[in-house]
């Protein structure tokens, strides 16, 4: 019952947001109406180019959360595959996989993101590539450890005695037990990656103009902090709210799966 | 012990080679022919024979690994090439900027330790006290508010409104206060949680309970029995966080217009100054690899029991 209400309210918010964004163009500039205070047409006012703040906030949210989700899905998939293979299916690869993860995990993702932005040009693609190139290691390590623990349990041994092939055991008996843990970490990482994306957009190397991004909006709005603090407040509010949301989600999942 | 250090050095040395090989290859990914690029920079008339001659001269006809070895031997002699924009040697540029960045990172780390060690310890021992609530608040801020927002807030309050500290730039110690404070709060939140949970784990261990029963004073209990066992996780966290510190300073340097290495890199990205970026990658690799080597050795010294082979665990 509670879950259904949760889904319905989520959908309702989504519909309202979609209606709001399609009403006002987030890219339309209007220099005569710049830095306007909230009105019926612009519910949160306009920015320094006269663009509607609310519709830009909502579009930015879609972009940031979407990118973060894509990154998490890619890296978690890589981590699950590599971790399961090295931890259970083909143990001969264990040494090399752990050594490579141990070496890669120490490298700062921001540094790689900067250099990739320099080589490929500052863009969303180079940022996604850079974060993914480092992030897969933490999932591989996590899945590896979990799979190792799980594979010593009785039901896995029983499956092996019954002559099931290792890939089949991995899919049917090991991964289902491991998945809740991975989901918890994924929901927590969602917020961390959003932090990273907005930080990079803030310094101008992430999502590029004219596309809106919360960090980029703060970077544009900070010059008007004294006269128009709302331009910084709303994107900041959105970032913090989203990250707290992702933390709450992970606590909820932890409790739900009892991991 | 010497064998351990030798083995770890070998491992990390190998990692260093692999990393630098990738950073060497990365510049090959740059769209366009580097030879044409160089000729264009010098504004020379380009003809085919000239291109071939220069290609030969610069060693682009050699196999990749020969090029890599040559490049690496230049790096070992601290020659990272010249900036494409200013023509200065990259090492020259780095000297000033890294000094500034290390000051900032050291300041941030100092703030983080000063905040986290007492707060983390108090909140483990006295979970209901005011300090414990402060610690919880700080760790929530550190993990859910982006550092540039903390910085923007501090800048607005202490530099713009109160005018206690300069808004940006780097002149004198007072320009270091706000960036270090921001970095310290952002990093310190993570430390607080780690210190608290580690201490709680150790305090529940049998030998600590026994020591308490034996009537050992709480001060001695903390320094001799608990702190030592709580140190290894904190040290390994430290090794990891130095890497994230090097990333974290970039954003703050841009925010406070602080002339450190991060600012230099962001400018180099926008000017497409490839040798500087490559040097940055190599230098960061060196730094991260050596810090991890030191961390490994320190952990080995603190937890000898984990490495003993004669005792069954």
ipTM score here? 0.78
The C-alpha atoms of residue B276 and residue B83 are separated, in whole angstroms, by: 6
Residues, chain B? 313
Are A203 and B251 in contact (CB < 8 Å)? Answer: yes
Q: Which residues of B189-216 are buried (b: 16+ CB within 10 A; e: fewer)?
A: bbbbbbbbebbeebbeeeebeebeeeee
- pLDDT one digit per residue (tens) for chain A, 259 residues: 566 666 667 767 766 666 665 666 777 677 677 776 776 666 677 777 777 778 788 888 888 888 899 999 999 999 999 999 988 888 888 888 888 888 787 778 788 888 888 777 788 888 888 889 888 888 998 999 898 888 888 888 888 888 888 888 888 888 888 888 999 999 888 888 998 888 888 888 878 877 888 888 888 888 887 778 888 888 898 888 888 888 888 888 888 887 7
φ, ψ (nearest 5 deg) of residue A52: -70, 125
Q: What is the pTM of this model?
A: 0.81
CATH 1.10.3720.10 fits A46-257, yes or no: yes
The C-alpha atoms of residue A56 and residue A26 are separated, in whole angstroms, by: 5
The tally of CA atoms less than 13 A away on the side-chain side of residue B149 is 26
List the one residue out of A186, A153, A170 whose CA is nearest residue A254: A186
pLDDT band at B312 (very low <50, low <70, confident <90, very high): very low
Say if residue B313's pLDDT is above 50.
Answer: no
Are B270 and A204 in contact (CB < 8 Å)? Answer: yes
**Lookup result for tokens 């259970």:** A88
Are B243 and A203 in contact (CB < 8 Å)? Answer: no
Q: How close A1 gets to chain B, by Cα (Å)?
A: 30
Q: Which residues pair with B104 in a beta bridge?
A: none
Q: Helix, strand, or coil here: B53?
A: helix
List the one residue out of A211, A256, A224, A252 whose CA is nearest residue A45: A224
The C-alpha atoms of residue B276 and residue B267 are separated, in whole angstroms, by: 10
Torsion of CA A139, A145, A151, A154, to 10 degrees: -120
Q: Where are the domains of chain A?
A: 46-257
**Lookup result for tokens 């610069």:** B58
Residue B103: partners with Cβ closer than 8 Å, 6 or more residues away:
B176
What average pLDDT does this structure show over B213-229?
82
- For chain B, the maximum distance between any two Cα atoms, rounded to a whole number of angstroms, is 88
Contacts of A247 in chain B (CB under 8 A): 143-144
- Find, in chain A, the residue whose alpha carbon is nearest to that of B152: A222
- Among A110, A119, A236, the residue with its CB nearest the CB of B250 is A110
Q: Which residues pair with B89 in a beta bridge?
A: B82
Q: Peptide bond preceding A210: is omega within 30 degrees of 0, i.e. cis?
A: yes
List the one residue out of A61, A15, A101 whose CA is nearest residue A197: A61
Contacts of B268 in chain A (CB under 8 A): 118
The tally of CA atoms less than 13 A away on the side-chain side of residue B145 is 23
The C-alpha atoms of residue B52 and residue A93 are separated, in whole angstroms, by: 45
- Which tokens is B57 given? 């001269």
Which tens digit of pLDDT belongs to each residue from A219-243?
Answer: 888 888 777 888 888 889 888 888 8
Q: Which residues pair with B82 in a beta bridge?
A: B89
What average pLDDT does this structure show over B62-82?
77
Are B269 and A244 in contact (CB < 8 Å)? Answer: no
Say if residue B233's pLDDT is above 50.
Answer: yes
Q: Which residues pair with A46 in a beta bridge?
A: A52
Do residues A259 and A180 make contact, with C-beta atoms less than 8 angstroms apart?
Answer: yes
Contacts of A190 in chain B (CB under 8 A): none
Q: Hey, how many other C-beta atoms are within 10 angstroms of the C-beta on B49?
A: 7
What average pLDDT does this structure show over B128-140?
86
Are B292 and A106 in contact (CB < 8 Å)? Answer: yes
Contacts of B23 in chain A (CB under 8 A): 115
Are B145 and A108 in contact (CB < 8 Å)? Answer: no
pLDDT score of B33: 60
Contacts of B274 in chain A (CB under 8 A): 118-119
Percent with pLDDT over 90 in chain B: 1
Do residues B251 and B263 make contact, with C-beta atoms less than 8 angstroms apart?
Answer: no
The segment with the largest mean pLDDT, out of A190-204, B13-27, B227-241, is A190-204
- Which tokens is A233 given? 């407040």
State the DSSP code for B311.
Answer: S
The C-alpha atoms of residue B61 and residue A71 are separated, in whole angstroms, by: 38
The C-alpha atoms of residue B109 and residue B259 are separated, in whole angstroms, by: 19
Handedness of CA B57, B61, B63, B67 (dihedral sign): positive
Residue A101: partners with Cβ closer than 8 Å, 6 or more residues away:
A137, A140, A141, A144
pLDDT score of A71: 92
């Amino acid at each position: 019952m509670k879950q259904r209400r949760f889904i319905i309210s989520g959908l309702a918010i989504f519909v309202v947001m979609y209606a709001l964004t399609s009403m006002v163009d987030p890219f339309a500039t209007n220099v005569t109406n710049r830095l306007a205070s909230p009105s019926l047409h612009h519910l949160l006012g306009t920015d320094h180019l006269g663009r509607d703040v609310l519709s830009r906030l909502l579009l930015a949210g879609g972009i940031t959360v979407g990118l973060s989700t894509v990154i998490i899905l890619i890296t978690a998939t890589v981590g699950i595959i590599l971790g399961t293979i090295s931890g259970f299916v083909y143990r001969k690869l264990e040494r090399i996989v752990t050594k490579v993860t141990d070496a890669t995990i120490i490298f700062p993702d921001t540094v790689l993101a900067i250099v990739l932005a320099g080589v490929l040009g500052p863009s969303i693609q180079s940022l996604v590539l850079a974060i993914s190139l480092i992030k897969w290691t933490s999932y591989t390590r996590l899945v590896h450890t979990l799979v190792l623990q799980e594979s010593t349990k009785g039901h896995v041994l029983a499956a092996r005695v019954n002559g099931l092939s290792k890939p089949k055991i991995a899919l049917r008996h090991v991964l289902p037990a491991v998945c809740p843990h991975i989901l918890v970490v994924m929901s927590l990482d969602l917020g961390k990656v959003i932090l990273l994306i907005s930080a990079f957009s803030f310094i101008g190397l992430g999502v590029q103009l004219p596309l809106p991004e919360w960090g980029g909006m703060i970077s544009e709005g900070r010059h008007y902090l004294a006269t128009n603090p709302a331009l910084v407040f709303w994107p900041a509010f959105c970032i913090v709210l989203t990250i707290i949301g992702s933390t709450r989600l992970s606590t909820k999942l932890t409790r739900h799966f009892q991991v | 012990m010497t064998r351990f250090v030798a083995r770890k050095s070998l491992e990390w040395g190998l990692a260093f080679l692999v990393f630098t090989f990738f950073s060497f290859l990365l510049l090959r990914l740059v769209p366009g022919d580097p030879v044409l690029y160089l000729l264009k920079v010098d504004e020379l008339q380009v003809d085919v024979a000239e291109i071939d001659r220069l290609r030969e001269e610069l060693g682009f006809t050699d196999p990749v690994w020969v090029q890599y070895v040559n490049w690496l031997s230049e790096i070992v002699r601290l020659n990272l090439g010249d900036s494409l924009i200013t023509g200065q040697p990259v090492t020259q540029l780095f000297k000033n900027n890294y000094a500034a960045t290390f000051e900032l990172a050291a300041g941030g780390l100092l703030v983080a330790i000063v905040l986290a060690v007492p707060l983390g310890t108090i909140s483990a021992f006295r979970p209901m006290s005011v300090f414990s609530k402060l610690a919880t608040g700080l760790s929530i801020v550190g993990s859910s508010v982006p550092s540039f927002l903390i910085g923007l807030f501090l800048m607005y309050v202490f530099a713009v409104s109160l005018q206690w500290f300069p808004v940006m730039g780097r002149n004198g110690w007072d320009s270091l206060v706000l960036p270090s404070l921001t970095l310290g709060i952002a990093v310190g939140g993570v430390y607080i949680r780690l210190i608290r949970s580690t201490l709680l784990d150790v305090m529940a261990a049998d030998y600590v309970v026994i020591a308490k029963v034996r009537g050992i004073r709480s001060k001695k209990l903390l320094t001799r029995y608990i702190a030592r066992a709580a140190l290894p996780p904190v040290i390994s966290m430290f090794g990891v966080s130095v890497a994230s510190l090097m990333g974290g300073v970039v954003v703050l340097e841009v925010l406070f217009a602080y002339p450190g290495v991060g600012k230099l890199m962001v400018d180099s990205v926008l000017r497409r100054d490839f040798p500087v970026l490559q040097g940055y990658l190599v230098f960061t690799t060196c730094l991260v690899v050596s810090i991890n080597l030191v961390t490994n050795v320190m952990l080995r010294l603190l937890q000898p029991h984990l490495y003993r082979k004669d005792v069954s665990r």
